[in-house]
Amino acid sequence: MIDSEGLREVIRSRRTSMFVDQTRDVPVSVVEELCELATWAPNHKKTWPWRFALFTGEGRSRLGETMAADMAHAEFGDDAKRTKTAGKYLRTPATLVVGCEPHPNDMLHRENRDAVAAAIQNLMLGATSIGLASFWSTPALTRPPAVLDLCGFHRDDRIVGIIYLGWADGIAPVPERPQVEVAHIDG
């Protein structure tokens, strides 16, 4: 069992990083376990709003090409941007799309996204703990219809993050945090 110091070390050492070993696959079972860890995030009303779709191998090209097609359809970006998007999911051996279910209640709709964000952090901390680099990115479109179909998500789901995953083989720069300020009211 990881001790408290080990947990702090994992939290502080997680970096947004694409320094990965391109030749080493990330097993599906490893990503499945990370997704299971993700589901231990707090979730108001237990709506379980997260959705996961893993892309490896040629699947990563399909994801990029489908995203680029959705961008063209939405007239988003220029040709250069769409071409870049078509190839970008090949940057790491595994690319995980994380989606979020909507909710008819406005507060719960926002809380669903909060829960999915917490889930992604769980997933990335789990990744860090086993030597996987992770990189949370926001896609150009968060409701790209053909990508949602490809992922097996619903058309009214939104994408909260596209997470690049690979075995770490380099050290990303550490963005130092500003000193924390905590207001303390006692009485």
Ligand X SMILES: Cc1cc2nc3c(=O)[nH]c(=O)nc-3n(C[C@H](O)[C@H](O)[C@H](O)COP(=O)(O)O)c2cc1C
Q: Smallest distance, Å, CB 185 to ligand X?
A: 29
Query: Which 34-93 residues touch ligand X, going by CB under 6 A?
Result: none
Distance CA 70, CA 29 (A): 30
Distance CA 92, CA 133 (A): 9
DSSP designation for 176 = P
Among 33, 61, 108, 136, binds ligand X (CB under 6 A): 136
The structure tokens listed for 109 are 């709709």
Query: Which 12-31 residues touch ligand X, going by CB under 6 A?
Result: 15-16
- Report whether 158 contacts 114 (CB < 8 A): no
In the complex with ligand X, the residue whose CB is nearer, 27 or 42, is 42
Q: Residue 71, class by beta-carbon neighbours within 10 Å (0-12 exposed, 13-18 middle, 19+ buried)? A: buried
For ligand X, which stretch binds (CB under 6 A), given 2-10, 49-57, 86-94, 134-142?
Answer: 134-142
Among 39, 47, 61, 137, binds ligand X (CB under 6 A): 137
In the complex with ligand X, the residue whose CB is nearer, 15 or 82, is 15
Interface mask toward ligand X for 145-174; x: CB under 6 A = ---------------------------x--
148 closest CA partner among 92, 69, 90: 69
Distance CA 167, CA 128 (A): 9
Binding site for ligand X (CB under 6 A): 15-16, 136-138, 172, 175
